[in-house]
Amino acid sequence: MAKDYFQDIVPPQGARPRRESERRLPNKTEEPLEEHGFATEAYGEEQNPPERSIRNIPTPLRRRPREEKREVPGMPPPIAPHSSRLWMWIAVAVSIFILIVLALFVFRSTTVTVIPRSHPVVFDQSAQFTAYPAANATAEVLTYTVEVSDLQDSEVVQSSGTEHAETKASGSIIIENNYSASPVKLIKNTRFENPSGLIFRIPADVVVPGKSAGKPGAMSVTVVADKSGDQYNIGPTDTFTVPGLKSNAAMYSGVRAHSDSAMTGGFVGDRPAVESGAMQAAQATIRTRIAQKIRDSISAREGVVVIPDLIKITFTEGQNTSEAGGGVRVHEKAHVEMPVFPKDAYAKAVANVVSADAENSSIEIVPSEGYAANTPKDTTVALGKAPLTFTLTGKATIVWHVDAAALAKTLAGINEAVFQNAVTTFPSIQEAHARIEPFWKSTFPADPSKIKIIVGQPAPTTTP
């Protein structure tokens, strides 16, 4: 049977059990062992320390338990660290709340919302309007100018072999009558000759207005080359004469024409063929895109009025070109003449015709359902050279402009109680509402720049 080794350990001879009274204090020259956490025993001067064994290994002294802090009477208890953090977060939350309140009330501007005065009108073609070229118009009449542009587009279609084609160039010219105050009639196929001797003809009878106020009468017409071929694809030309008038020297020098755009479409030779249906579909697609470009340019304009129905667009076919993979690119060109009216003058002219009380007021016409313009039938006007006569159909609304700066200046510093009285001094305002900030104030800010004016839209009005 194995022995218990702990029982075989015999303490050294002469060893005694330790007593608390036999502990000694260290001398100054000795390093106290208690500082290292060990207890020491006293031995005689001649007595050697006992051998170390498992029974006499000194054990570390137990440290005294930390004394609990006692509260001193009359002193506040110490604050725990987690409590100080809690108060810090509370302070941050309160600060954020205060900033939000300031942003919502103190820093918000005073706002005035107004609805402008409006007047619905219905046009039935009974009212006729006449606008005069701005270059030679008198005062207090509706004027217009003409903006001319050329747009091009193309579409690829599948070819169907080749074909021999002979096409004539065509384009637009402006005929001027500086010969007499009476109109001059030119019959179908009247020739117009450029300085190089190329002849172009008008496809129908035209009547050129007579000269007035020292300005020649004018009109724009389409002409077609006398023969096929690309030699007739000429650029803008300053002078076209009328060979048929040479017998009358005064008339020959007084009735002439010029062009602002090129003649195009002349061709003789073989080219990729396109089926008739595919050609018509491609041309329709091209012209739709060109029309959309024109509408986009109208909506982006400010301070002027452009009525789409009065725009004159002349389409001419370009020369088809071959595309990779057996395709044909169909080309189209559009010559655009766009009448442009001053916005205020146009609105006042309409208001006068419909008997709206708009004298000395700034107004505008807002088109509505069915709004369109119509020109007299069987008339051709040289835009920019002769008066433009038209009628209107459909519905529109006359809207008065609100002078926001003047309104803010009037309201600055006044009491909320007299707000409506101040608004009545503006005939262009139908109704108005104010919100003064901060909410506890009852007067408008003294600085007009701190009053925000919002102009709303008139409520839809039904008309019979």
Q: Which tens digits make up the pLDDT trace of 362-420?
A: 888 889 888 999 888 766 677 877 888 999 999 999 999 999 999 999 999 999 999 99
What's the pLDDT tens digit per position in 157-182? Answer: 988 888 888 889 988 899 999 999 99
215 in any annotated domain: yes
> What pLDDT shows up at residue 41?
45
Domain extent at residue 135: 128-342
What share of the chain in percent tops pLDDT 70?
Answer: 78
Span 1-30, average pLDDT: 48
Dihedral through CA 212, CA 215, CA 217, CA 220, nearest 10?
A: -150
> What pLDDT shows up at residue 38?
44
Question: How many angstroms separate the CA atoms of 178 and 254, rounded?
Answer: 5
> What pLDDT shows up at residue 101?
63
248 in any annotated domain: yes
449 in any annotated domain: no
236 in any annotated domain: yes
Question: How many angstroms separate the CA atoms of 26 and 24, rounded?
Answer: 6
> What pLDDT shows up at residue 302?
84
In sequence order, what are the beta bridge partners of 122?
A: 395
296 in any annotated domain: yes
Span 309-314, average pLDDT: 90
> What pLDDT shows up at residue 453?
93
Amino acid identity at 392:
L
What's the pLDDT tens digit per position in 111-163? Answer: 999 999 998 988 887 778 999 888 777 777 899 998 888 888 999 998 888 88
Tally of structural domains, the chain: 1
Per-position b or e across 382-407, b if 16+ CB within 10 A of its CB: bbbbbebebbbbbbbbbbbebebeeb
Query: The tokens of 226 are what?
Result: 């006398």
Residue 43 has pLDDT above 60, yes or no: no
190 in any annotated domain: yes
pLDDT band at 77 (very low <50, low <70, confident <90, very high): low
Give the residue from 245, 226, 458, 268 showing the smallest Cα distance to 363.
Answer: 458
When comparing pLDDT for 81 and 281, which is higher?
A: 281
> What pLDDT shows up at residue 78?
59
Residue 108 has pLDDT above 70, yes or no: no
> What pLDDT shows up at residue 51?
56
Amino acid identity at 269:
G
251 in any annotated domain: yes
398 in any annotated domain: no
